[in-house]
A and B are shown apart, each in its own frame.
Chain A
């Protein structure tokens, strides 16, 4: 129990006392993750096999067709 308490304090105090460079870097990380997952992934990079086919059987048939009828 004490281990978890100490670990929590480590993170809590670390973030609380973080200098301006650290805060700026976290801001960049958060903006970057937002752009990557909320914009790029959602609007530009769908998983083609998941969105266009509903089962693994359909996916397999599609790929067999693709590789045997180039």
Chain B
């Protein structure tokens, strides 16, 4: 496939996904914060909490309205730019996305109306139930697309049909409870909770800095910071679990995240480092110009054993007999065998030669899990962009720990009644809103860039996944989307800013 076409298709998908992801996490996080605030209102009967809930609900509504359906464009791109891939994954995506559509429609749309229009028409408890169901519905609808994404990272519960060239779902529950899916779902939605929390404490801090709505802002900040610190600590746990699974299912991604070229027993975790850009798997350059490491922590996180061996990129590319790690070259040979067998199986099937078809299908099935390697010419092609993966991962982690500190400081200052006086902390809270989005997008970069060159791990590389299109057409729609999404973003920010300036009254 033409390289420019593949690159523009990837760039377009990345652009659309990143813009879409600017809207989604606030919906996920703010919906729960509103539900918590409304619960306090129903429990205490204090009208101040009702007004507080309604203010954040208005901002939620703005974000929801501007962001709604932006994800559908990703599905357009699947059908146009990624038709080979779409056909190949077929049934795996169909069921989760259909469930997502139905759930989003019934849970979000129905209860969203009660939430916005029903304050004076339904009982307090019914309204509260609707708000919680909107929060649950938003989060559950995120589950299905994340399940589909997780399947691409760790394909389970399916079988490939050599007659139709499609994957067919063998066990729905295997797909749903794929450990990668569970980790991805929990890690991703909790990043949305952190963004929601940062948004609430940041906007509230702005009110305090402007000496407006102080009581409202302090209460909002406390709820936001408590929800934020719980979510941030939960992210640490889900991140740890993700790392453990990545070590098993995508060891190359883990090695790139850590800039680990040579595997090691008792491997250190790089806390901070500057990579040597001249380092490649095939040369003897030093991997880092500078680094600060935590001894044996990578082995502990990856294998739950401080002395365990963690393979590096060189082991995965060139193999390591001592630790039974096959070389990419050997997997390339098996992949080519699978592709040849698939071709011969189809020729034999067309010629109605059943015995020959059975022979080839056996060879194909024996080598199917290496099939994607058959497309590479050099083993080094299986190494993802190390710099982007490494720095994205480390900045994300640093920001994650910074958020824990920020939420803790806000709670501490609130309890000491010094929050209003600490202008530096209020400014930190305000300027941390974009950092939340940055951390979340960096997480996606680690997940998606770190798994390159695969669209489906070990089975289908990106270069085989695209349709035969003119690269110039894809380039045109890339800029078209960039324009449309930028207009939407400007609309969101300007309507939101006006509403924030109006305030909770």
Contact = CB atoms under 8 A, between A and B. Distances in A.
Interface of A: 6, 9-11, 13-14, 21-22, 24-26, 28-29, 32-33, 35-36, 40-41, 44-50, 56, 59-60, 63-64, 66-70
A30 to B, nearest CB: 10
Contacts of A26: 65
B467 to A, nearest CB: 5
Given A64-B342, A64-B343, A66-B84, 13 more contacts: A9-B121, A14-B117, A40-B73, A44-B480, A45-B77, A47-B79, A49-B87, A50-B79, A64-B162, A67-B165, A67-B460, A68-B343, A69-B343
A63 B61 contact: no
28 contacts: A10-B118, A11-B113, A13-B117, A14-B113, A14-B117, A21-B58, A25-B61, A25-B62, A25-B65, A25-B495, A28-B66, A35-B484, A36-B73, A40-B73, A41-B76, A44-B477, A46-B80, A48-B467, A48-B469, A49-B79, A50-B79, A60-B165, A63-B87, A63-B166, A64-B343, A67-B464, A68-B346, A70-B1
Contact of A60 (B83, B118, B166, B495): B166
A18 B76 CA distance: 32
A6 to B, nearest CB: 8
Interface of B: 1, 58, 61-62, 65-66, 68-69, 72-73, 76-77, 79-80, 83-84, 86-88, 113-114, 116-118, 121, 162-166, 339-340, 342-343, 346, 375, 460, 463-464, 467, 469, 473, 477, 480, 484, 488, 491, 495, 499
Contacts of A22: 61, 116
Judged by DSSP, the binding face of B is helix
Contact of A63 (B73, B88, B480): B88
A36 B480 CA distance: 11
A44 B389 CA distance: 32
Contacts of B114: 10
Given A40-B76, A67-B339, A28 B84 contact: no
Nearest to A45: B76
B66 A21 contact: no
Contacts of A28: 65-66, 488, 491
A70 B253 CA distance: 25
Which of A10, A24, A35, A66: most chain B CB closer than 10 A?
A66
B288 to A, nearest CB: 36
Given A14-B116, A25-B495, A48-B79, A66 B464 contact: yes
Given A66-B464, A67-B464, A56 B68 contact: no
Contacts of B375: 70
Contacts of A44: 80, 473, 477, 480
Contacts, number: 110
A3 to B, nearest CB: 12
A32 B69 contact: yes
Nearest to A63: B165
Contacts of B346: 64, 68
Nearest to B78: A47
A29 B68 CA distance: 8
A21 B68 contact: no
Contacts of B65: 25-26, 28-29
Contacts of B339: 67-68, 70
Contacts of A50: 79
Given A48-B80, A63-B88, A68-B346, A10 B499 contact: no
Contacts of B72: 36
A21 B499 contact: yes
A45 B80 contact: yes
Given A10-B118, A21-B58, A64 B165 contact: yes
A70 B381 CA distance: 16
Contacts of A70: 1, 339, 375, 463-464
Nearest to A33: B69
A28 to B, nearest CB: 6
A21 B62 contact: yes
Contacts of A49: 79, 83, 86-87
6 pairs of A and B residues whose beta carbons are closest in the complex: A14-B117, A25-B65, A45-B76, A48-B83, A47-B79, A68-B343
A67 B342 CA distance: 9
Q: Which of B58, B87, B113, B460 has the most CB of A within 10 A?
A: B87
B79 to A, nearest CB: 4
A65 to B, nearest CB: 9
A53 to B, nearest CB: 10
Contacts of B117: 10-11, 13-14
B186 to A, nearest CB: 30
A45 B79 contact: yes
Contacts of A41: 76
Contacts of B118: 10, 14
Residue from B73, B80, B488 with most neighbouring chain A CB atoms (10 Å): B80
